[in-house]
């Protein structure tokens, strides 16, 4: 296998539900160690695409091809939902430990990994807190720590910051970029925010309204690490304009 | 990140004091008015005894009433225990197999909607008296446990179910680590309702049984005292039943609070 081969490739994938076609002729490849965003209006099937990759749903047609020829084992994929999706009855560390417990990893090893994952998102001292004692941003950090606990290579994120306020969102975005670089993960990030996707990604896939198809792929060639100052740079503004125009054209083409 | 945990909620002490004090004041006033009314109108004790006489009867008849209280409470708690076991076990079976649920749920409902007073005489024919009383109490108590637990097991966050699937969790793991904890609040609500109902079931069955014996409970004492026109003892037994009901309610509420206090909204609002 060459290193340039995509981690996973969706080929001509379609997904139909009872009454709607969510995805149609969707071609999309994820490359090793990239941060790619799926950008589109709500209902364009971008979340569906993510669920197909995760194996939470099966495509109606087309194929999902993994580099190794088979679906990754459990723990090799991390998934972060739009809501923090924490279990309220257990502590922060209990939540982060869940995937390790389910795969029967030894308690001592698990505790170490939980500690590392929590330290990574800056919540080490909240290990024994219950979710209801945390703010929205902190809950999302726990959710990210849980996704990282199994040290997955591929991290799938479904509009994880959509329910947060802008200031919290900026902070989490900064921390996510730092983690992505430090840990060398591959991230697929679903969002409907042009600004968020430009700040985070090195590639943006703009999707058409339902049924979702790839409309354009826009590389964001700004170097990492991207500091807070990148948000106010003319370069950032130019990328945002390009992506916004692409999104507007995608919306118009479908007559939506 | 510098993030402080939110401060613990400050309980409103004055409000708490009022909530405890006011019912006590009302009780004292009612008892006083009752005593006065009985004395001023010279009502004989076989019609309406004053609270003072009821209380002294309670003390003088304690050997009989106390034994009956224990008999009724034993039945109640045995029925509650079996109702929790049966209700939770059946709810788990329902959650694991839709076929089992479809097959049995209608009969659970029928058992619930048929008045237990009407079932009691039949049970008393086929079962020894103690078993029949227990069965009656169980029949009324088990349904709320079943219904609430079933609801709780079914109302699990869809995303959490997806998450468990993603981590390759087995059915057993989903049940143990997800469905059962998620069902705990509604299960405890069911148990709280069942506590009161098993006392009612026990009382109904005791009255239907109506025969004396070493193990006769409070409801039987009430019926018996009625036949003999021992009205103060009727009141005393009624008072004990009512106190038993209150005690069961508080005990189960406390249990629920202790189990849920760290994480559930209901326990959280009780703290505030």
The interface pTM score, or ipTM, of the predicted complex is 0.89
| CA nearest to A68, candidates A57, A77, A58, A56 | A77
HEC-encoded secondary structure of chain A: CCCCCCCEEEEEEEEECCCCEEEEEEEEEECCCCEEEEECCCCCCHHHHHHHHHCCCCCCEEEEEECCCCCCCCCCEEEECCCCCCCCCCCHHHHHHHHHHHCCCCHHHHHHHHHHHHHHCCCHHHCCCCHHHCCHHHHHHHHHHHHHHCCCCEEEEECCCCCCCHHHHHHHHHHHHHHHHHHCCEEEEEECCHHHHHHHCCEEEEECCCCECEEEEEECCCCCCCCHHHHHCHHHHHHHHHHHHHHHHHHHHCCC
**The Cα angle at residue A101 between residues A95 and A103, in degrees rounded to 5:** 130
Contact status of B1 with chain A (Cβ, < 8 Å): yes
Whether residue B159 and residue A89 make contact (CB cut-off 8 A), yes or no, is: no
What's the rounded Cα separation, in Å, for the pair B121 and B130? 13
User: What is the predicted pLDDT for the residue at A1?
Assistant: 39
For residue range A136-154, what is the model confidence (pLDDT) as tens digits?
Answer: 999 999 999 999 998 998 9
Of A15-24, B41-50, B85-94, B123-132, give the range with the top mean pLDDT.
B85-94
Q: Percentage of chain B with pLDDT > 90?
A: 69
What's the rounded Cα separation, in Å, for the pair B123 and B138? 12
Whether residue A81 and residue B159 make contact (CB cut-off 8 A), yes or no, is: yes
- Put the strands of the sheet holding A186-191 in their side by side order: A77-80, A154-158, A186-191, A35-39, A203-207, A214-219
User: What is the predicted pLDDT for the residue at B271?
Assistant: 45
What's the rounded Cα separation, in Å, for the pair B18 and A10? 66
Architecture of domain A8-253: 3-Layer(aba) Sandwich (3.40)
CB pairs under 8 A between A and B: 71
Annotation: CATH topology of B57-267: MetI-like fold (1.10.3720)
User: What is the predicted pLDDT for the residue at A104?
Assistant: 87
Contacts of A85 in chain B (CB under 8 A): 157, 159-160, 163
Contact status of B182 with chain A (Cβ, < 8 Å): yes
Contact status of A132 with chain B (Cβ, < 8 Å): yes
Whole-number average pLDDT of chain A: 90
| CA nearest to B4, candidates A126, A132, A173 | A126
Contacts of A175 in chain B (CB under 8 A): 1
Whether residue A122 and residue B1 make contact (CB cut-off 8 A), yes or no, is: yes
User: What is the predicted pLDDT for the residue at A136?
Assistant: 92
What's the rounded Cα separation, in Å, for the pair A218 and A4? 19
Shortest alpha-carbon distance between residue B157 and chain A (Å): 8
What DSSP line would sit under B83-137, residue for residue? HHHHHHHHHHHHHH-HHHHHHHHHHHHHHHHS-HHHHHHHHHHHS-HHHHHHHHH
User: What is the predicted pLDDT for the residue at B1?
Assistant: 45
Query: Structural domain boundaries of chain A?
Result: 8-253
What's the rounded Cα separation, in Å, for the pair B194 and B171? 29
A118 pLDDT higher than 90: yes
Q: Taking residues B242-264, what's their average pLDDT? A: 92
Contact status of A122 with chain B (Cβ, < 8 Å): yes
Q: What pTM value is reported for the model?
A: 0.84
| Pick from A69-73, A118-122, A214-218: least confident | A69-73
Pair B146, B84: CB distance under 8 Å:
no
B269 pLDDT higher than 60: no
For residue range B180-204, what is the model confidence (pLDDT) as tens digits?
Answer: 999 999 999 999 999 999 999 999 8
Contacts of B265 in chain A (CB under 8 A): 132
User: What is the predicted pLDDT for the residue at A18?
Assistant: 83
Bridge partners, A29 (sequence order)? A9
What's the rounded Cα separation, in Å, for the pair A127 and A78? 20
Minimal Cβ distance to B181: which of A51, A54, A87: A87
B10 pLDDT higher than 80: no
Whether residue B167 and residue A88 make contact (CB cut-off 8 A), yes or no, is: no
| Pick from A14-18, B7-11, B242-246: least confident | B7-11
CA atoms within 13 A on the CB side of A9: 9
Shortest alpha-carbon distance between residue A28 and chain B (Å): 21
What's the rounded Cα separation, in Å, for the pair A19 and A108? 49
What's the rounded Cα separation, in Å, for the pair B44 and B98? 62
Nearest Cα residue in chain B from A84: B159
Whether residue A89 and residue B268 make contact (CB cut-off 8 A), yes or no, is: no
Minimal Cβ distance to B163: which of A85, A134, A137: A85
């Amino acid at each position: 296998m060459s290193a340039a081969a995509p981690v996973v490739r969706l080929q001509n994938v379609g997904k139909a539900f009872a009454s709607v076609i969510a995805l149609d002729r969707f071609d999309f490849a994820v490359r090793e160690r990239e941060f790619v965003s799926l950008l589109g209006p709500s209902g364009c099937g971008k979340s569906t695409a993510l669920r197909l990759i995760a194996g939470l749903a099966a495509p109606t047609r087309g194929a999902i091809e993994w580099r190794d020829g088979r679906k990754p084992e459990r723990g090799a994929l991390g998934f972060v939902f739009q809501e923090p999706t924490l279990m309220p009855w257990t502590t922060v560390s209990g939540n982060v430990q869940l995937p390790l417990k389910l795969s029967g990893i030894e308690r001592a090893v698990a505790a170490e990994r939980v500690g590392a994952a929590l330290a990574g998102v800056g919540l080490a001292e909240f290990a024994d807190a219950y979710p209801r004692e945390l703010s929205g941003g902190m809950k999302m950090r726990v959710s990210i720590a849980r996704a990282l606990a199994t040290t997955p290579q591929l991290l799938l994120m479904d509009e994880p910051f959509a329910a947060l306020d802008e200031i919290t969102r900026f902070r989490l975005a900064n921390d996510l970029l730092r983690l992505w670089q430090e840990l060398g993960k591959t991230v697929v990030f679903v969002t409907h925010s042009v600004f968020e996707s430009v700040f985070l990604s090195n590639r943006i896939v703009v999707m058409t309204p339902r049924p979702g198809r790839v409309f354009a792929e826009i590389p964001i060639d700004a170097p990492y690490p991207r500091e807070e100052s990148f948000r106010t740079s003319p370069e950032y503004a130019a990328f945002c304009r390009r992506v916004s125009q692409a999104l507007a054209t995608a919306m118009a083409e479908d007559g939506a | 990140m510098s993030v402080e945990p939110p401060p613990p909620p400050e309980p409103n002490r004055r409000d708490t004091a009022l909530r405890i004090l006011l019912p006590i004041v009302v009780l004292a006033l009612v008892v006083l008015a009752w005593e006065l009314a009985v004395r001023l109108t010279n009502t004989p004790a076989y019609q309406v005894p004053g609270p003072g006489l009821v209380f002294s009867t309670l003390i003088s008849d304690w050997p009989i009433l106390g034994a009956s209280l224990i008999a009724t409470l034993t039945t109640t708690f045995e029925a509650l225990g079996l109702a929790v076991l049966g209700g939770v076990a059946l709810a788990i079976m329902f959650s694991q197999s839709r076929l089992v649920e479809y097959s049995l749920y209608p009969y659970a409902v029928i058992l619930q909607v048929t008045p237990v007073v009407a079932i009691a005489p039949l049970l008393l024919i086929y079962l020894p008296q103690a078993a029949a009383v227990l069965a009656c109490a169980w029949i009324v108590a088990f349904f709320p446990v079943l219904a609430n637990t079933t609801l709780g097991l079914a109302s699990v966050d869809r995303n959490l179910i997806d998450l468990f699937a993603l981590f390759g969790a087995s059915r057993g793991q989903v049940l143990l680590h997800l469905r059962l904890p998620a069902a705990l609040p509604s299960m405890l609500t069911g148990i709280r309702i069942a506590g009161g109902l098993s006392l009612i079931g026990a009382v109904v069955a005791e009255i239907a049984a109506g025969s004396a014996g070493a193990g006769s409970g409070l409801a039987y004492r009430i019926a018996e005292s009625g036949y003999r026109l021992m009205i103060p003892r009727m009141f005393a037994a009624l008072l004990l039943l009512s106190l038993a009901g209150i005690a069961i309610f508080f005990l189960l509420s406390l249990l629920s609070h202790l189990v849920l206090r760290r994480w559930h909204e209901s326990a959280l609002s009780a703290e505030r």
